[in-house]
Amino acid sequence: MSKRFIFLLINCLVLILGACGGPLIMRLYFIHGGEIIWFSSWLETAGWPVIIIPLISQYIRRRSEEVNPKFFIMNIRVLIGSAVVGILTGLDDYLYAYGVAKLPVSTSSLVIATQLGFVAVFAFFIVRQKFTAYSINAVVLMMIGAGVLAINSNGDRPAGESKSDYIIGFFMTLGAAVLYGLVLVLVELVYQRAKQEINYTLVLEFQLVMCFFATLFCTLGLVADKGFQKLSREPQNYSIGSVMYYVVAILNAFLWQCFFLGVVGVINYSSSLLSGIIITLALPLNEVFGVVFYHEKFTASKGVSLILALWGFVSYFYGEYKQTMKKKDMAKKEEVQVGRVELPPHQQTLDA
């Protein structure tokens, strides 16, 4: 078993932990009396100092291989790009936290899954990624799935919540899916125009800067909403105790950083395709966990939406797989043709 495979396996496990645990713990904060949406959104990226640990590890490795290496290798172009993406991520965090506050976790997970369809749309317009029959099929299926949930909203509305609050939460979550689809494409655009090598260290630095600016954005939101005054009182009113309040907050920050670091690690050691597949696998797990731990209703509309979402995911990633295989085959054919051209004429005849 190679060292690379071991690191890939570790990152896969970290990603699964974050993708399943993050939404569940965020919902737990609201279920037991948490009300500050800006604080919940702040926690999604507040664990950014954790990223300094693997950055130090990378720096120590580079010191053994290079003379006087820089601690930060990011150029100004990537720095500005990651800061802009970070601000958009902060806004996305707020939209998502608002949705989780109003919707069951099983519902919000299905709605947020539509982001893949928006990724395909934004990628077409921004980075000129071509639509395929598979990506169009995925977009249509996911939009139908979201529509099914919206039409049958009465079935899983939490007790004591008005229909208007539920609908607002639904569309805030859908807005988060749209915005995160844009964010992912903008990340790809920044990488394309980076004018420097994209390696694991640079990706970690990008994540660090992005999370810092997202946290800064949410901090300003907390200040504007007078959230810090509310934070001083909220632990005492938490239904499962003030100690558990802080435990939930710390777990929230930790699990979301696991998610971000897992995504970065899996992409580095394998591919974005595998990263997307793992996140997809977390979707049915979140459905099950929501029903088991929070006693949420699993309605027929959720079942239909889940099937459509998984069908859309499979369609999208199968299309991506076919495109990747096609590019590899074309690259191999080009290599063979170049090799034949470089051979002397008599060797080409013998080879034929």
Q: In whole angstroms, what is the distance from residue 315 CA to residue 323 CA?
A: 12
Q: In whole angstroms, what is the distance from residue 264 CA to residue 203 CA?
A: 7
pLDDT score for 273: 61
Give the tens place of pLDDT for each residue, 135-155. 788 878 878 887 887 776 666
Burial (0-12, 13-18, 19+ Cβ within 10 Å), 112: buried
pLDDT score for 68: 85
pLDDT score for 153: 61
Burial (0-12, 13-18, 19+ Cβ within 10 Å), 124: middle
Handedness of CA 298, 299, 302, 303 (dihedral sign): positive
Helix spans in 193-299 (H): 200-224, 227-231, 242-269, 272-294
pLDDT score for 352: 46
pLDDT score for 350: 47
pLDDT score for 136: 84
pLDDT score for 79: 96
pLDDT score for 210: 93
- Each residue's pLDDT, cut to its tens digit, for the chain (352 residues) gives 678 788 888 888 998 999 899 999 999 999 999 999 999 999 999 999 989 998 999 899 888 888 888 889 999 999 999 999 999 999 999 999 999 999 998 888 888 878 877 887 888 888 887 778 887 888 788 788 878 877 766 667 787 788 899 999 999 999 999 998 899 889 888 888 988 888 889 989 999 999 999 999 999 999 999 998 989 899 999 999 999 999 999 999 999 999 888 888 887 777 666 776 777 778 778 888 888 898 888 888 888 888 888 888 788 778 877 877 887 888 788 777 766 655 565 555 544 4
What is the CA angle 208-11-252, rounded to 5?
60
CB 170 within 8 A of CB 146: no
